Structure 1
Amino acid sequence: MPATLPDGDPVPADGTLPPSALAGLGHRPLEIYLHVPFCTTRCGYCDFNTYTADQLGTDPGATRATYVDAALTELALARRVLGPAAPPVSTVFVGGGTPTLLPAGELVRFLAGVRDTFGLAAGAEVSAESNPESIDADGLAELAEGGFTRISFGMQSADEQVLALLDRVHTPGRAAAMVDLARAAGFRQVSLDLIYGTPGESVDSWRHTLRTALAAGPDHLSAYALIVEEGTRFAARVRRGEIPMTDDDDLADKYLVAEEELTAAGLSWYEVSNWARTPDDRCRHNLGYWRAADWWGIGPGAHSHIGGVRFWNRKHPAAYARALAEGRTPAQGREILTGVQRRVERVLLELRLADGLSTDVLTGTEQARVPDLLARGLAEVHGAGTGGDRLVLTLRGRLLADGIVRDLLD
């Protein structure tokens, strides 16, 4: 969730959505995302909407102690806006920031609020992100006992020099050790997040990170290329010549290493940057994003999408809490997506999935470009002749996913 918010149209003070957004609401999955904007330190590469304690000061609307109260107020607003047609929530995801800087009991209290306000669907997936140093065995047990089913630890690397350059404060072995603690606490699914392409990271170092992560036995693993975002300390250091810019060829080589190691260990890709041990281990919440499900994002800067309407909250925690305290929506702006925009986004997102994109989504001229992708070895068509043709990227195509989308679309 980048810190810079887009422009958009004004949002009614009570948060009301247009009737078109609510049409068919009860027939689509509903997801809830909670953004926790607190961090102990701000990593130099991060451009998410996060804050350290000294950045927030003492404003009562921006403290950890009152944060879940504000989030529950927005949850109640979501219930009023969506009305009685809203279905039980199918997934909950608590991200950040560092969600586990809040006491585990507070996160459980928020989940209880979701259960009381909307209800949880049978078998609902409930996820939390955590930094390895920000929670202990007791906190993990409290989350699991309170209804959290999945946890994702930000491991990033097993190389001390890489962790230092990324401003990560945990030791290389801490994240892997947390997998065992999470299992013992009762979590059904455990994931590790990795970053590759940090300047100075060798291919051997990256392979060591992958093997260290795999040795811990996670059910799911995410591997993201380091992107140098403008406005970050990392970008400033690149401009000053202190560290080199990330290299596209290096990123591609390391992606191929990730695919090799993860596949050999029995994990399969289901989205360009995500691998799972079994289909049941895929992150259902994130799949909802890629498939344009309905989700309500709670917290400062959080984005939501309901029935083709996208809206986003005020960025600063104090401004967010103040709006709710005054009985107003915290949403700062919104856009109503056109049919063309929704189709383009569907191509952009679904083509990143191993399940692929239905060729029926493509226009006639776009379909005419598919044979060239096949001839170049960038994609395959699955299900030919069954009435369910789907365009699926090959490994080489995954390396060029963004460019393929640009070339494919009208």
Structure 2
Amino acid sequence: MPSALPIADPAPDDGMLPPSAAQGAESRDLGIYLHVPFCRVRCGYCDFNTYTAEEVRGVSRSDFADQAIAELDVAASVLERSGLPARPVRTVFFGGGTPTLLPPDDLVRMLEAVEQRFGLAQGAEITTEANPDSIDAAGLEHLAAAGFTRLSLGMQSAVPHVLSVLERTHDPANVPLRVAEARAAGLAVSLDLIYGTPGESMADWSRSLDAALAEHPDHLSAYALIVEPGTKLARQIARGEVPGVDDDLHASFYELLDSRMAEAGYGWYEVSNFALSPEQRSWHNRSYWTGQDWWGIGPGAHSHVGGTRFWNVKHPAAYAQRLAAALSPAAGRETLDEETRRVERVMLETRLVEGLATDALSPAGRTAIAGLIADELVEAASAFRGRVVLTRRGRLLADAVVRRLLPDD
């Protein structure tokens, strides 16, 4: 089952935000994330807040769009009553779960509701995730005609035995079909890959990269598999049914990824994300990494507004019940102090190609830069210009770099 919600302060039933959330809001982007929590099958590695049909008996998928629209009403009201200025939405991201298990009409209705309540910024990025088997050409055309601009396709691997360990059920042959259909509809295409699956060889990973790059996606995300406690995959590894994760092999996978992406003309802009041009970067994900505002719609969805983080009740039934009672679906929240926000900035911005301004570091953190340069983890030239930018070796050891930049003062 999905992991537990964080432990923090209870959120007020009316959803009102503290006065600090409005400070400086006019300089921050606003994004909307819509979490559609439904999947056909629960993948063994997945720790997301998702549910199969058997796990949500008594909850109808056909009601979800109306519930999400009801929360958009809550969001618009809370932001206005909390003193935040009206801002058009810069990015909209439908994630999950598998958003495209819902009819395209439902996704379009939710997007229209965002536009009606907030407005969309000119050139707004509007993305939906999909599995290769969860949408067709007609659905993609419908979404594109309604204003969607981008498809994020869950390819994960091109190798059947790797997909089997991950319990991904799609046919790899459908990836190029969906990419072609998305392009014909006028959508930009991002492919998602996972590397380091137990039993995956370097040859397997190379084959997946070959298949992904053959589609010339605009954007590619590649994440090392993390075995989350409590997942089916974690239990299989503990019982010895599948091999464990090899960190050294992970590093070799990343080195091959980075080389192949560069050779194909892609630039990294975050440790795990690559794009053909700055315009093709995921601006929604950048809002998370750079501390912008976003409101997460749906069961278990997380939000961040002006240093206040809050999250919804997890189960779709509880989510529906709170909205039906005209209550905010938020379950808990925390307001970050300045030091916590600084630490999070260091953790996130260090992973970006622009790097982190050294003025975000404490004196002890700035002192650590010389050692990081000597260890070839940070670019010397960038550091002399006042920014911490990771080398390839630094990207492999990004968490260790952050620990050295955040010593106990």
How high is the TM-score relative to the length of structure 1? 0.97
Partner of 1:119: 119
Mapped partners of 2:390, 2:144: distance in 1: 37
Partner of 2:79: 82
Moved beyond 6 Å, runs of 4+? none
Mapped partners of 2:401, 2:271: distance in 1: 13
Task: State the SS of the aligned residue for 2:153.
Answer: strand
1:320-399 alignment, distance < 5 Å: 320-382=319-381, 389-399=386-396
Partner of 2:314: 315
Mapped partners of 2:207, 2:397: distance in 1: 25
Question: CA offsets per residue over residues 74-105 of structure 1, 9 Å max, x none?
Answer: 10111011116131000000000000000111
Partner of 2:201: 202
Question: CA offsets per residue over residues 156-194 of structure 1, 9 Å max, x none?
Answer: 00101111111111122211321111000111x100000
Unaligned runs of 5+ in 2: none
Task: State the SS of the aligned residue for 1:285.
Answer: helix
Partner of 2:25: 25
Shift of 1:22: 1.4
Question: CA offsets per residue over residues 238-279 of structure 1, 9 Å max, x none?
Answer: 111100111100100000010111111111110000000111
1:3-152 alignment, distance < 5 Å: 3-58=3-58, 62-83=59-80, 85-152=85-152
- Contact kept in structure 1, 2:382 and 2:389, CA below 8 Å: no
Mapped partners of 1:158, 1:238: distance in 2: 23
Mapped partners of 2:166, 2:300: distance in 1: 23
Shift of 1:27: 2.5
Mapped partners of 2:382, 2:155: distance in 1: 37
- Contact kept in structure 1, 2:39 and 2:101, CA below 8 Å: yes
Mapped partners of 1:180, 1:30: distance in 2: 31
- Contact kept in structure 2, 1:381 and 1:390, CA below 8 Å: no
Shift of 1:389: 1.8
Task: State the SS of the aligned residue for 1:369.
Answer: helix
Identity percentage over the alignment?
A: 57
Task: State the SS of the aligned residue for 1:218.
Answer: coil
1:149-298 alignment, distance < 5 Å: 149-187=149-187, 189-298=188-297
Shift of 1:382: 4.8
220-229 or 78-87, which moves further after superposition?
78-87
Mapped partners of 1:86, 1:20: distance in 2: 16
Shift of 1:407: 1.8
Unaligned runs of 5+ in 1: none
User: Partner amino acid for 1:146?
Assistant: A
Mapped partners of 2:201, 2:95: distance in 1: 30
Mapped partners of 1:37, 1:303: distance in 2: 13
User: Partner amino acid for 1:296?
Assistant: W
Question: CA offsets per residue over residues 210-260 of structure 1, 9 Å max, x none?
Answer: 011000110000101111111111011111110011110010000001011
Task: State the SS of the aligned residue for 1:379.
Answer: coil
**Number of aligned residue pairs:** 404
Task: State the SS of the aligned residue for 2:227.
Answer: coil
Task: State the SS of the aligned residue for 1:393.
Answer: coil
Mapped partners of 1:366, 1:261: distance in 2: 33
Mapped partners of 2:254, 2:47: distance in 1: 23
Shift of 1:23: 2.0
- Contact kept in structure 2, 1:49 and 1:301, CA below 8 Å: yes
